[in-house]
């Protein structure tokens, strides 16, 4: 099935019942605005309210993030209560109302990550790079100090050489050192579609130039699932390819929340 054209009135989803729709969103920069301290980030209340409205009419809601799945549960509520699915570590962790799964390599590499966190805290933190310990990965934050990117990349490259099962993901905001899971957001989302069954439409909101472009490519390649890709375009040059693969863009997390509420408005109207 070809990808449907973008329509902000959302009339195109009339062919799908709410139980045949997945609405999936990245977290940081999409539901939760960027802040200088990543641990202080919180989702916008209007975004959370929209997700709950979608769940209430029967839509399957998934939050697909590079954050830990347990972090998402802390921000949005336990999966069993929120009825949302949390896909963490860009696909390596899943917590849903009916099942949970973690890639085995995540547990195996915890001791190595612990050593790298200690080393980064001693070497990089004093120079101004914020260190985030995700237990199964290490994130080096340099959004507010782009001049420190070469230092972060050098540390990450040395780490990947020392531990061959680790890989490095990088953009202008962060450098992440994590196990090479051989999985991505697109694969994880397709697994969710398979497990749920009967899904005919997916609406995906993202902003990550690498991970969310993989999602766009994956969804656009499906013959039996229609998709609309919405990009939160922050004006970064590295987002150009993702924007080109999107159906439309919004400027910020508040715009993403408006999109979610538009979808909820339409589904509540057509389901009543």
Higher per-residue confidence, 35 vs 117: 117
Q: Copy the structure tokens of residue 271.
A: 């389901």
Task: Tell whether 236 and 216 lie within a shared domain.
Answer: yes
Mean pLDDT of 103-124: 95
Asked which of 179, 201, 236 is the last residue of a domain, the reply is 179
**Does residue 35 have a pLDDT over 90?**
no
Mean pLDDT of 113-124: 98
Domain extent, residue 157, equals 106-179
| Overall domain count for the chain | 2
| CATH code, domain with 188 | 3.40.50.1000
Phi then psi for 54, rounded to 5 degrees? -65, -45
Cα distances (angstroms) measured from residue 22 to each of 56, 58, 70, 138, 193:
13, 10, 21, 30, 8
Instruction: Indicate the pLDDT class of residue 28, thresholds 50, 70 and 90.
Output: very high
Q: Which position has the token pair 């139980």? A: 19
If asked whether residues 88 and 192 sit together in one domain, one would say: yes
Question: What is the spatial distance between Cα 66 and Cα 211, in angstroms, rounded to a whole number?
Answer: 9
pLDDT band at 272 (very low <50, low <70, confident <90, very high): low
Give me the mean pLDDT over the 130-144 stretch.
Answer: 93
User: What is the arithmetic mean of pLDDT over 240-268?
Assistant: 93
Report how far apart, in Å, the C-alpha atoms of 200 and of each of 13, 161, 193, 262 are: 9, 43, 9, 19
């Amino acid at each position: 099935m070809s990808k449907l054209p973008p329509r902000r009135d959302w009339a195109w989803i009339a062919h799908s019942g709410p139980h045949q729709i997945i609405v999936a969103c990245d977290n940081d920069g999409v539901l939760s605005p960027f802040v200088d301290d990543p641990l202080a980030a919180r989702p916008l209340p209007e975004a959370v309210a929209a997700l709950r409205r979608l769940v209430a009419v029967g839509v399957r809601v998934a939050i697909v993030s590079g954050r830990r799945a347990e972090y998402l549960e802390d921000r949005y509520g336990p999966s069993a209560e929120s009825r949302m699915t949390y896909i963490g570590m860009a696909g390596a962790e899943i917590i849903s109302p009916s099942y949970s799964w973690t890639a085995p390599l995540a547990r195996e590499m915890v001791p190595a990550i612990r050593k790298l966190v200690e080393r980064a805290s001693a070497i990089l933190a004093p120079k101004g790079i914020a260190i985030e310990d995700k237990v199964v990965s290490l994130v080096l934050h340099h959004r507010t100090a782009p001049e420190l990117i070469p230092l972060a990349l050098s540390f990450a490259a040395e780490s990947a050489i020392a531990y061959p099962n680790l890989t490095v993901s990088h953009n202008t905001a962060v450098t992440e050192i994590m196990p090479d899971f051989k999985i991505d957001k697109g694969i994880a989302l397709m697994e969710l579609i398979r497990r749920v069954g009967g899904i005919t439409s997916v609406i995906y909101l993202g902003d990550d130039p690498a991970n969310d472009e993989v999602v766009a490519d994956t969804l656009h390649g499906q013959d039996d699932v229609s998709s609309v890709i919405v990009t939160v375009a922050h004006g970064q040059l590295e987002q150009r390819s993702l924007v080109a693969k999107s159906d439309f863009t919004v400027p910020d997390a508040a715009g993403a929340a408006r999109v979610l509420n538009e979808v909820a408005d339409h589904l509540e109207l057509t389901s009543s």
